[in-house]
Amino acid sequence: MLSKAIFSTTVILTIIFLGLFTSPLFGATVQLNISDKLIANAEYYPGEKNRPFILIMHGFLLNHNFPTVKRLAESLNSSGYNILTPSLTLGINQRKKSLACEAIHTHSLKKDVSELDQWIKWLQKKTSGEIILIGHSTGSIHLAKFLSNHPSDRIKEIIFIAMPDLNPNFRDNETINFEQKAKQLVLNNDMSLHDFKIAYCEKYPTTAENYLSYLQLSKENILNDLDKITVPKTLIMGSKDNRINESWRHTLLQHGVNVISIEGANHFFDYEYEFDLLDIVENILSQYNTTTKK
């Protein structure tokens, strides 16, 4: 009888233990009708009433379950913050997975920014309090594009995590050739799919018009967007991030971005560096902890 009791207790404890790591700890899925054909997914983590609402945006072709985003969202929520982590649909209804480079891409920069606008409006209806924007990688650039075109007195700060310098990928000779090809296709009113190269994608099937929309994310245009943003801007970077060089860091400083470097961290702030990232973000957010009303 004793051995059976020990066995039963062990099974129960094992189930509880495994449950902690296999079920969502904090978040709940919310959905937003983007159009008649598209529903977007997000993870919503309700927090304390005296904390601001934080929107965290994922990087290129990824989603809200990307580890860097999810770890930060869950950690900030455990400290009491209200968190929303949307996934851009990228033209796919209720998209749940990252999109491969080789997939057919029907999305564009304009559509991405429009979706961000709809999620911000959702947040503004959800709360009367302050909103902070956080982007990881190219998610930072998407948020900068959004905020430069949609300023709001409700948005108090924007934090860029590992915002890359796109010029090495977007302005190399091969990409310039694809850009010229795309411009000619637009002049020919060709709306069919073609293979292009963009960022880390060697094969990227899309229309010429959609392709050219993302080439707007040039260094010059990113800096112009940053200059239009009037709220505090901070870049948190890792010293081992090979997508951010000293020239890019210096340029961002010249355009009013506060730059904080974490020694040894890479582009994804994994391993022990996630705690350094969290400490810095929480330090920035702490100034807003007593003014927000839910």
pLDDT in tens, 215-263: 999 899 999 999 999 999 999 999 999 999 899 999 999 999 999 999 9
The answer on pLDDT for 20 being more than 50 is no
The pLDDT tens digits of the residues spanning 216-226 come to 998 999 999 99
211 inside domain? no
Answer whether residue 50 is part of any domain: yes
Residue 253 lies in a domain: yes
Res 166: pLDDT: 84
Composition of the chain by helix, strand, coil, percent to 5: 40, 20, 35
Local confidence band at 26 (pLDDT 50, 70, 90 cut-offs): low
> Measured between alpha carbons, how far is 92 from 84 in angstroms, rounded to an integer?
20
For range 6-35, the mean pLDDT:
55
DSSP 250-274: HHHHHTTEEEEEETT--TT--TTHH
Task: Kindly state the average pLDDT of the residues 127-153.
Answer: 96
Domain annotation covers residue 28 = yes
- The stretches of 127-245 forming alpha helices (DSSP H) are 138-149, 167-170, 173-187, 208-214, 219-228
Residue 212 lies in a domain: no
Residue 265 belongs to a domain with what CATH number? 3.40.50.1820
Closest by CA position to 165, among listed 91, 259, 100: 259
Q: Which two tokens stand for residue 186?
A: 């637009």
Name the average pLDDT for the chain. Answer: 90
pLDDT in tens, 173-196: 888 899 999 999 999 999 999 999
pLDDT 10s digits, 48-78: 988 999 999 999 999 999 999 999 999 999 9
- Domain annotation covers residue 194: no
Residue 173 lies in a domain: no
Domain count, the chain: 1
* Within-domain flag for 4: no
Question: What is the residue range of 144's domain?
Answer: 22-166+217-288
pLDDT band at 25 (very low <50, low <70, confident <90, very high): low
